[in-house]
Chain A
Amino acid sequence: MNGPFAFTLGLGDDALIAAQRLAEWTTHAPEMEEDIALANIALDQLGAARLLLSYAAELEGAGRDEDALAYLRDDREFRNCLLVEQPNGDFAVTMAKLLVLSAYQLPLYTALAGCADERLAAIGAKTRKESAYHLDHAALWVRRLGDGTDEAHRRMQAGIDQVWPYAHELFAAQPGAPVDPATLRGDFDSTVAAVLAEATLTLPESGWVPAGGRDGVHTEHLSFLLAEMQVLHRAHPGARW
Chain B
Amino acid sequence: MTTARDAAATVVDPEIRVVTIDDLGILRSVEEDPGTGRVVVTITPTYTGCPAMDVIRADIRRAVVAAGHPDVEVRTVHSPAWSTDWITDAGRAKLAAAGIAPPAPVRRDGVVPLTLAVRCPRCGSPETEQLSRFGSTACKALWRCRACCEPFDHVKAL
Contact = CB atoms under 8 A, between A and B. Distances in A.
B64 to A, nearest CB: 24
Nearest to B140: A40
Given A125-B81, A129-B158, A45 B49 contact: yes
A51 B48 contact: yes
A198 B134 CA distance: 24
A123 interface: yes
Contacts, number: 70
A125 B48 CA distance: 11
B132 A47 contact: no
A122 interface: yes
A33 B144 CA distance: 13
Nearest to B132: A33
A44 B138 contact: yes
Given A47-B48, A47-B49, A125 B79 contact: yes
Interface stretch (A78-86, A130-138, A221-229): A130-138
B133 A121 contact: no
Contacts of B45: 47
Interface size class of A (residues with CB under 8 A): 20 to 34
A20 to B, nearest CB: 13
A132 B158 CA distance: 10
B131 A33 contact: yes
Given A33-B132, A129-B158, A132-B112, A43 B49 contact: yes
A133 B78 CA distance: 18
B110 A128 contact: yes
Interface in B104-118: 110-112
B132 A44 contact: no
A5 B37 CA distance: 38
A127 B49 CA distance: 10
Interface string A60-90: 0000000000000000000000000000000
Interface string B95-138: 00000000000000011100000000000000000011111101
Interface of A: 33, 36-37, 39-41, 43-48, 50-51, 118, 121-123, 125-130, 132-133, 136-137, 140
25 contacts: A33-B133, A36-B132, A36-B136, A36-B142, A40-B134, A41-B134, A43-B47, A43-B51, A44-B138, A47-B49, A48-B49, A121-B79, A122-B79, A122-B81, A123-B78, A125-B78, A125-B81, A126-B79, A126-B82, A129-B81, A129-B158, A130-B47, A130-B48, A133-B156, A140-B133
